[in-house]
């Protein structure tokens, strides 16, 4: 039981990070359910129908998912704000309907036979993705993404290709969501298109909003708390959506930037140089 809970926590952390990496470039995506489904079914086909081992299947489905995100994102990311949100919700709906109509992967009935993922696999994935995000957090690329997120017009006047940066964030998010999907499917052994409902995409965004959108720890905390807490308040199980909604409202009122709102600074002036203090 406890390992189930930890496994789902890990999956949700990965999904929260996949939303976060898009948000870093200023795009809020509700399409993570679709990319998760793609990763799950893509890797599942490779392992079940072609007998691939899980790891390469996982990586290939992540890469394909990123490529699909790039193709979808090129027109979609021209939209901003609420229009982009609607388009990404649309992507999640379309993915589900498409999967329900592909008999090769079982259609509405679902797709089974995937196995091989366990708690260790998801821990390794969380560690690798987390280490990458931490490395990214202190890089010039993080700064460039922040610039795009804060004021895309100024960023492009400073020679930054805003379209490319946004596609990068969206595709990286899709890849991470696909890995989460692949691990999820190979742990559950059996999935159905409705497992990747739009509600899942919404929950994942809420983890990030609760945890904080300014650093990579926020989504980690948000996803962990919101996955584990309901387990320890079993009485509240039926009230989960209500409690969730109230938590969001309380956050928006009292901590609109999330639990962990700080932003990491990406560069400091050289420490060895004599620091001038006060005004000259």
Phi/psi of residue 191, nearest 5 degrees = -135, 160
Report whether 199 contacts 37 (CB < 8 A).
no
Q: Which of 2, 82, 253, 265: binder of other proteins (CB under 8 A)?
A: 265
Q: Which residues, other chains included, contact 64 with Cβ-Cβ below 8 Å and sequence gap of 6+?
A: 38, 42, 178
261 binds other proteins (CB under 8 A): no
Mask 210-249, x = binds other proteins (CB under 8 A)? ----------------------------------------
Find residue 109's DSSP bridge partners. Answer: none
> What residues from 41 to 100 belong to the interface with other proteins (CB under 8 A)?
none
**Is 154 an interacting residue with respect to other proteins (CB under 8 A)?**
yes
Q: Which positions from 115 to 144 touch other proteins by CB under 8 A, shown as an x/- string?
A: --------------------xx--xxx-xx
> Is residue 161 part of the contact set for other proteins (CB under 8 A)?
yes
- For other proteins, the closer of residues 40 and 129 by Cβ is 129
Is residue 119 a contact partner of residue 10, using CB atoms and an 8 Å limit? yes
Residue 162 found at the interface with other proteins (CB under 8 A): yes
Q: How far is the CB of 101 from other proteins (least distance, A)?
A: 37
Residue 46 neighbours by CB under 8 Å, 6+ apart: 52, 56, 57, 60, 61
Q: b or e along 165-194 (b: 16 or more beta carbons within 10 Å of the residue's beta carbon)? A: bbbbbbbbbbbbbbbbbbbbbbbbeebbbe
For residue 111, the cross-strand partners are 191
Contact with other proteins (CB under 8 A): which of 168, 183, 216, 217?
A: 168
**278 binding other proteins? (CB under 8 A):** yes
3-state DSSP call for residue 31?
A: coil
Share in percent of the chain as helix, strand, coil (round to 5) = 75, 0, 25
**Is position 279 an interface residue for other proteins (rule: CB under 8 A)?**
yes
For other proteins, which is the closer residue by CB, 150 or 194? 150
Nearer to other proteins, 252 or 264 (CB): 264
Minimum CB–partner distance for residue 21 and other proteins (Å): 13
Q: For other proteins, which is the closer residue by CB, 234 or 276?
A: 276
**Which pair of structure tokens corresponds to residue 103?**
């008999």
- Pick the binder of other proteins from 49, 78, 255, 263 (CB under 8 A): 263
CA distance 217 to 133: 10
Q: Report the nearest approach of other proteins to the CB of residue 153 (Å).
A: 6
Q: Which one of 74, 164, 233, 239 is in contact with other proteins (CB under 8 A)?
A: 164
* Total interface residues for other proteins by CB under 8 A: 36
């Amino acid at each position: 039981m406890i390992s189930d809970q930890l496994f789902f926590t890990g999956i949700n952390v990965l999904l929260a990070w996949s939303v976060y990496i898009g948000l870093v470039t200023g795009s809020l995506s509700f399409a993570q359910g679709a990319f998760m489904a793609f990763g799950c079914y893509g890797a599942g086909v490779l392992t079940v129908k072609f007998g691939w081992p899980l790891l390469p299947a996982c990586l290939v489905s992540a890469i394909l998912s990123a490529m699909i995100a790039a193709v979808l994102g090129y027109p979609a990311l021209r939209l901003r704000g609420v229009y982009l949100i609607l388009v990404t919700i649309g992507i999640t709906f379309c993915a589900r309907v498409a999967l329900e109509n592909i008999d090769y992967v079982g259609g509405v009935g679902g797709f089974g036979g995937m196995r091989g993922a366990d708690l260790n696999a998801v821990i390794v994935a969380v560690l690798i993705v987390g280490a990458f995000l931490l490395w990214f957090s202190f890089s010039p690329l993080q700064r460039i993404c922040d610039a795009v997120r804060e004021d895309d017009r100024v960023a492009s006047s400073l020679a930054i290709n805003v379209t490319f940066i946004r596609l990068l964030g969206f595709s990286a998010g899709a890849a991470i969501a696909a890995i989460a999907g692949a691990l999820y499917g190979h742990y559950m052994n059996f999935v159905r298109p409705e497992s990747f409902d739009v509600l899942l995409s919404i929950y994942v965004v809420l983890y990030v909003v609760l945890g904080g959108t300014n650093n990579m720890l926020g989504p980690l905390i948000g996803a962990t708390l919101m996955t584990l807490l309901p387990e320890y308040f079993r009485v509240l199980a039926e009230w989960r959506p209500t409690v969730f909604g109230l938590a969001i409202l309380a956050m928006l009122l009292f901590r609109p930037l999330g639990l962990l709102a700080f932003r990491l600074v990406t560069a400091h002036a050289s420490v060895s140089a004599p620091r001038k203090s006060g005004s000259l």
